[in-house]
Structure 1
Amino acid sequence: MKSFIFKYRCTKETHLPRSNGYMVYSALCRWVQGTDLEFDFHTADGPPPYAISDMISGDGSSLSIDWSSPKVILKPGDWAFFRLSLLTPEMERSFVDTVAPRDITIANQPEMVLDSILGPGSSPLAMSISSEALFAGAPEAKDITLAFRSPAGFNSQGRQIPFPMPELVFSSLLWRWRRFFNDDRWSGLEDRLSQINISRYDLKSVVANGKGGAMHKGCVGRCRYDLKPLSLVDRKAIHCLGAFGAFAGVGYKTGQGLGQVEVL
């Protein structure tokens, strides 16, 4: 798994919607056209093998966003960035071999000029790790706190659920983990997720804009999950999945800016 930061310099004042991940996704789809990555960016079978953040004001060191403002307002000389995380070795190789040298324009905004693409190790948010190393480094602590940096929402029985219930969060991550790593070491874990409790939260509901006026309900903020009812083996699994979420995202529309999450 690898994450890359696309860093932009603004040449004149620019306004973007606060929730703009769908614009970044559209730009990336144009960017990869005709390359080996094109199919992966358009796949409709299961979760996407990548995750994309919104375009965020800043130098690429933090995913924190002020969701009280409806717009991202950039002045001349300001920096902005988005993060692209790739979950499979195939996508990593295609990215490095065929795509990285290209330029990319966001939402027909020529005043936003791509300055650099930062690879793993060159920014706090540009990371690289294998699934084996992620599992080996996972603790067995009795709780885990997740920070939802962009709206996290979930589909359940045809409804949008804008609250990070434990079963929804960790079943979403478990599904992705098994999908991309073909790893069944946590047999039956999905049946034990209901034992996890929420011990504390500080969340705000947010409606994210999508393509064509679509609206996606979600939440941002922090949530602490109590893992004490679980075995040590299951606690380690949950911590591993939480760390995996920093790459894969959680919930729906992770390929369009939603569900960006970090472990605190």
Structure 2
Amino acid sequence: MAKEAMYKRVGLKEIAQEVGVDVSTVSRALRDDPRVKTETTQVVRRKAHELGYRPNRLARALRGGKTDRVAVLLSPPQVRFASPIFLELLATLDQLLRARSMTLAVFAAHRRDEERDIVRSIVEDRLADAVVIGRTQESDARVRYLLEAGFPFVAFGRTDWPDRHPWVDIDYAKAGRLAIEALMQGKPARISILAAPRGLRFADGYVAGARAAASELGAPDPDAWRIEMTEAAGEELAPGLFRDGPRHAIACIQDSLAFGLYRAAAREGR
């Protein structure tokens, strides 16, 4: 009997009995309802934590359509690797959601052409209350669908509609400029840029910024190699790049590409 009691799920009723308020007050307090006094909310939350209370998300979803879950869509090739920036984004998002008694759900697309269907499933099957997407394109089909559906989302990257939805982004154009400025200190005879495939907004900005800086500084017009941002892609491209000798400077949009170059250089004894 003691073991059964130990694993009994704590509900709103048990918290209400412990605190000495009614169940509706507990429910409101756990939702931070402003109708509940701050002191009462604090007492309820503290007692809920002590008792190990966990909200019944399934019941809430069935009752009010809320899942207390945010979905993140991993675009290919992120199902095989994830950049340090994106890993930090996931870790921070998970921490913030857990502080609000919410959870993070990760959905992985193995092909670009299946991403819109995954997003549609998240929306129509009520798998989450909001979604985070990355690797945005200028006219992004996922963003267009989410805007038409009126579903909450944030894009990690800009689209053609930056005034119609929330987004966060890195200034990749500036990053491209800074990369060329740094490389020019070595007075290279040739410059190559390794960036993600065409159509990805952040990569297009990086290449444009790099080429603008090269033009302003009187540098050779850089070659742009639009490849996936993986170590394998960098390593595969390396032999051709190395043939031009030490005065060939290379700017990589992401560390993983540079790691691939380093691995190839070590193998060739460079």
TM-score, with structure 1 as normaliser: 0.28
Of Structure 1 and Structure 2, the greater helix share is in: 2
Give the structure, 1 or 2, with the largest relative contact order (CA under 8 Å, sep 6 or more).
Answer: 1
Query: Which of the two has higher C-alpha Rg?
Result: 2
Q: TM-score, normalised by structure 2?
A: 0.28
